[in-house]
Chain A
Amino acid sequence: SQQGEEDPQALSIQEGENATMNCSYKTSINNLQWYRQNSGRGLVHLILIRSNEREKHSGRLRVTLDTSKKSSSLLITASRAADTASYFCATDAGGGSNYKLTFGKGTLLTVNP
């Protein structure tokens, strides 16, 4: 069954605003990752948060993880037109299969100049 599911499916904002995307998952995990994909291109790893972490920052990115609710959020602050892309959360299978990631359908973010 699908592990990660992003919400909303699409988000349109103005440059300079903040963008928040959410991810929910079903089973226990070792870590949760966020990836970005520009149209028709490969995915680019953004940030990884381990199951024992609650918050992590990287530049304009802030990720939170709530394992009790099985959810994560990705916040992009002061958005730019170049942030326009699809954003995916990915969870590992836990246990001995932590090399296997399951991706959600993604959130399409459009940042208007």
Chain B
Amino acid sequence: ETGVTQTPRHLVMGMTNKKSLKCEQHLGHNAMYWYKQSAKKPLELMFVYNFKEQTENNSVPSRFSPECPNSSHLFLHLHTLQPEDSALYLCASSQVQSYNEQFFGPGTRLTVL
């Protein structure tokens, strides 16, 4: 798991708070991803960045705002979240030109009160 790190590992926030999730990959990959994992549901792809450019926004509400300042770092800015946004948020990276094996971080367990 040291290839992709995520901070914080746990986050509890109120609906009016603003917080950010951070992801860093040390693998030299050129694509990064945000996924949401809720209980009893498939892993949901939220955002994809290829070479720092956002190439996918999977109908994610605007209260989630991604940022990719460089190919190694990815942020997910959160504001005015809802309790149903409570989930495990996973970051992943891959080398796009390969067969796209994705390497995942340990995730941030988010609870929205």
Residues on A close to B: CB < 8 A? Answer: 2, 4, 30-31, 33, 35, 40-45, 48, 50, 88, 90, 92, 98-106
Is the CB–CB distance between A105 and B48 below 8 Å?
A: no
Residues on B close to A: CB < 8 A? Answer: 1, 4, 6, 31, 40-43, 45, 48, 50, 56, 88, 90, 92, 94, 96, 99-107, 109
Is the CB–CB distance between A50 and B99 below 8 Å?
A: yes
Is the CB–CB distance between B104 and A42 below 8 Å?
A: yes
CB < 8 Å neighbour of A43 from B6, B100, B104, B109: B104
**What's the count of A-B pairs with C-beta under 8 Å?**
61
CB < 8 Å neighbour of B100 from A40, A44, A92: A92
| Interfacial chain B residues near A44, Cβ < 8 Å | 104
Is the CB–CB distance between A99 and B31 below 8 Å?
A: yes
| Interfacial chain B residues near A106, Cβ < 8 Å | 42
Complex Cα–Cα for A2 and B41 (A): 10
Would you give the shortest CB distance from B62 to chain A, in whole angstroms? 21
Complex Cα–Cα for A45 and B56 (A): 22
| Interfacial chain B residues near A35, Cβ < 8 Å | 104
Q: A40-B88, A42-B90 are in contact. Are A104 and B100 (CB under 8 A)?
A: no
CB < 8 Å neighbour of A2 from B42, B99, B109: B42
List, sorted by A's number, 22 A–B pairs whose CB atoms are closer than 8 Å. A4-B42, A33-B101, A41-B106, A42-B90, A42-B92, A42-B104, A42-B106, A43-B102, A43-B104, A45-B103, A48-B99, A48-B101, A98-B100, A99-B31, A99-B48, A99-B50, A100-B48, A100-B56, A101-B45, A102-B42, A104-B42, A105-B42
Complex Cα–Cα for A104 and B88 (A): 16
